[in-house]
Structure 1
Amino acid sequence: MVKKLVLYDQIYNFSSDKERKNLEYRYQKYLGEKVKGFSSTKIIFKKLRKYDNRFEIEINGPEEVFVFNVLKKEIGTTINFEDIREGQIYKGTMIDCGKVGFGIFVDCAIMNPKTDVLLPLHSLRNQLCNGQNKSLSQIISTYDFIDKFPVYIEIKTIDREEKKISGVLTQEILNLFKKCLHENIEGVFISGQSKGQVKKALVKTGHLRDIVSIERFGFLEHIVLLREGTQSPGIISDIGNLLKKSKFSAIRPNRIKDICIGNVHKSGPGED
């Protein structure tokens, strides 16, 4: 029986049919790497949905159940609103950063109906600035949050009548900020390019030696952690010329220290 699913990753950052096809080809190779060794089972790309830029695929072959489960675990899929439960953890990307003052919305691929998860301002204050009464714009500026910034969230409340969901950041994403803070290293978030393209740009500019790791959160979302003493604005300036139309943000521990005055040296960003 053919398995069908809609993948979590969004395909964007193209302005022509040629660029779209190139991205689709590279994404197909990316999926192929996830399930290599099962050549008798085929992944068929049905379409790239226009309203959310996600692929609908079919899986057909003797190992279709295995391949289905691998893709669901490694890539992720869309989720029906009725299946969301409090306490569950999902990955997502920030959207419309700064458009409202009461929090940040996160696209976790929740459908039927399409519902984004709200990270309320009071939770962001508790988790990212030790409970201080900072405005959302201050928090966004300090952490340089932009659209597509990747996070993991835990669902806290679900209003099934109003179709609203709220959540908090998980310890996994908070630990990323803590690592930068405690080790005094900076990071660069890059959206709109595959990991291979990011690495090529780092090699070409001679900056591969300046990085600790490239953390992939999605096909087109990555956070590059830098060696101590390497500054993110310089990296962004150099590789930005090669990664056209990509979006960048800088994770800078000195800014985080400024907003987390008080017990930052003891804890830094923490749980809600």
Structure 2
Amino acid sequence: MVVLATKCYVEGDARERALDGLRSLVENAVGDLAVEYEVGLRHDDFPSVTVSGEDETVARNVLREEWGAITPEFEAGEVYTGTLEHWDDEGLVLDAGEEIRIPSDQLGLGPGTPDQVRTRYGLVQHLPMQFVYGDPNRLADAERDRLYEWSRGPGRVNVNSATRGETRATVNRAGHAQDIITVERLGLLEQSIVCAEGTDPPGLLASIGGYLPAELLCVVE
């Protein structure tokens, strides 16, 4: 079984739509392999994928590579993935099956309080993030590189509580299809709307915010 490092925290019909979408994504990832699989949801909102068959080892590795995996144990110096649960003056707290605190001096994302850093880089709640386990824990180099790349590239609007399809549909419904390049999937319910040149991310956020019951944060240069 692989426990995916992304959360399904919405309720009701939205949860069913999200899990249906996840099943499709798992099918796309491992459907050509000789395996059978079943998608479930743990009590802590992390999805699990039970895999069996001739190619089960390959399938598990594919899923870990695509989503990251929640593991029962950690080794110092190794990279893991957790979801952003909360933040305070002392740092960020990720959920990686247990709480992982990243102290503010181990973020490596420039000046400011953890909340200011979170806002500057568009770190919506539940965003999957990579960290290096240790004493202290720190953000992984690849994670820092990704976030710096966001701030240097075209503007973005990051959202949570919505699938990629729902986010795309919302942009279209608000009349902004021509103002974006794409919607990148960051997690099952966390997306990044990549703005086209000349599009103002705060303006896009204001326009689509009324359509999405979600947290939205801009990433601007």
If the TM-score is normalised by the length of the shorter chain, which range does it land in? 0.7 to 0.9
Instruction: Find the aligned partners of 2:152 and 2:49 in 1 and give their Cα distance.
Output: 42
Could you tell me which amino acid in structure 1 is paired with residue 56 of structure 2? E
Residue 148 of structure 1 pairs with residue 126 of structure 2: yes
Identify unmatched segments of 5+ residues in structure 1. Answer: 158-165, 254-272
Instruction: Find the aligned partners of 2:21 and 2:151 in 1 and give their Cα distance.
Output: 35
Find 2:164's aligned residue among 195, 217, 220: 195
Question: Is contact 1:97–1:147 with CA below 8 Å preserved after alignment?
Answer: no
Find 2:201's aligned residue among 212, 232, 235: 232
Name the counterpart of 1:160: none
Judged with a 3 Å threshold, the aligned counterparts in structure 2 of structure 1 residues 95 and 210 are, in CA distance, closer, same or farther, namely: same
Question: Is contact 1:13–1:246 with CA below 8 Å preserved after alignment?
Answer: no
Q: How does 1:141-220 map to 2 (within 5 A)?
A: 141-157=119-135, 166-183=136-153, 185-220=154-189
Question: Is contact 2:127–2:187 with CA below 8 Å preserved after alignment?
Answer: no
Question: Is contact 1:5–1:57 with CA below 8 Å preserved after alignment?
Answer: yes
Quote how far apart the aligned CAs of 1:187 are: 1.4
Quote how far apart the aligned CAs of 1:181 are: 4.3
Instruction: Find the aligned partners of 1:7 and 1:240 in 2 and give their Cα distance.
Output: 28
User: Normalising by structure 2, what TM-score?
Assistant: 0.84
Judged with a 3 Å threshold, the aligned counterparts in structure 2 of structure 1 residues 224 and 92 are, in CA distance, closer, same or farther, namely: farther
Name the counterpart of 2:65: 73
Counting matched residue pairs gives 221
Structure 2 counterpart SS, 1:128? coil
Quote how far apart the aligned CAs of 1:43 are: 1.0
Quote how far apart the aligned CAs of 1:207 are: 2.4
Root-mean-square deviation (CA, aligned residues, Å) is 2.5
Name the counterpart of 1:57: 49
User: Normalising by structure 1, what TM-score?
Assistant: 0.70
Name the counterpart of 1:105: 93
Q: Percent identity?
A: 22
Name the counterpart of 2:117: 139
